[in-house]
Amino acid sequence: DGGITQSPKYLFRKEGQNVTLSCEQNLNHDAMYWYRQDPGQGLRLIYYSQIVNDFQKGDIAEGYSVSREKKESFPLTVTSAQKNPTAFYLCASSTQEGEATDTQYFGPGTRLTVL
Amino acid sequence: AQSVTQLGSHVSVSEGALVLLRCNYSSSVPPYLFWYVQYPNQGLQLLLKYTSAATLVKGINGFEAEFKKSETSFHLTKPSAHMSDAAEYFCAVIKDSSYKLIFGSGTRLLVRP
């Protein structure tokens, strides 16, 4: 089945540690995205990538880093510089056919808790 | 700049009753609008999207939404609520001419038996 997988589903981290969240897609999509979701708020864009080896900051990139070495993979690292990392993280992907209506498909999410 | 506002963080309906979830948008250009649904501890699933082809858009699970330019609205409706519709619903708009989605703060739908 085609889709987006995120791992792990739950992640616990001690303060001061970096942690990497995995996102893999087999939809052959060019574009991938990372969002953060907090209770009572909508999703906020952290980083996005429209093509391999290229990515751009979203609205809340501080304290996060990404890489896009393969089309299928877009891992997100939450660094110790992120002041409040406890949140639900969602990865998405979409085609890039030149239309603003390309639909974004979402993974199941990773819930990160800082202890 | 584009934005969306969802009125009501929580909506409660009885099973079988009409579902109405409100979304108003702000956009200086014709908008592309989306409704997504999220079940607890899961990702988002696309319900429907407006791309200017038709003002009444039909989606999955019996939901539909009507684009009303005069009211800058894109409200989501379903004639008869089912218990399985209980979830959080997000309205979203494409930002400017980019591919970035701007989400509303979400509306949690509760369905009473």
Confidence class of residue A99 from pLDDT cuts 50, 70 and 90? low
pLDDT digits (tens, 9 = 90+) for B12-48: 999 999 999 999 998 777 788 999 999 988 899 999 9
| Percent of chain A at pLDDT exceeding 70 | 94
Contact between A94 and B99 using a beta-carbon 8 Å cutoff? yes
User: In the predicted model, what is the mean pLDDT of residues A18-32?
Assistant: 94
Confidence class of residue B97 from pLDDT cuts 50, 70 and 90? low
User: In the predicted model, what is the mean pLDDT of residues A73-93?
Assistant: 94
Distance CA B110, CA B113 (A): 10
Contact between A105 and B106 using a beta-carbon 8 Å cutoff? no
Provide the shortest C-alpha distance from residue B82 to chain A (in Å).
23
B53 touches chain A (CB under 8 A): no
Provide the shortest C-alpha distance from residue A109 to chain B (in Å).
6
The strand pairing partners of A106, in sequence order, are A92
User: In the predicted model, what is the mean pLDDT of residues A65-72?
Assistant: 97
Kindly tell me if the per-residue pLDDT of A45 is higher than 80: yes
By C-alpha distance, the chain B residue nearest A95 is B99
Q: Which residues of A touch B99 (CB under 8 A)?
A: 31, 48, 50, 94, 96, 100, 102
Query: Which of A66, A65, A113 lies closest to A85, judged by CA?
Result: A113
> What dihedral do alpha carbons A75, A79, A85, A91 form, nearest 10°?
-10
Kindly tell me if the per-residue pLDDT of A65 is higher than 90: yes
B55 touches chain A (CB under 8 A): no
Distance CA A33, CA A94 (A): 9
- Give the per-residue pLDDT at A1: 62
Average pLDDT of chain B is 91
- Give the per-residue pLDDT at B96: 66
Q: Which of B90, B94, B104 sits opposite A100 (nearest CB)?
A: B94
Distance CA B52, CA B30 (A): 8
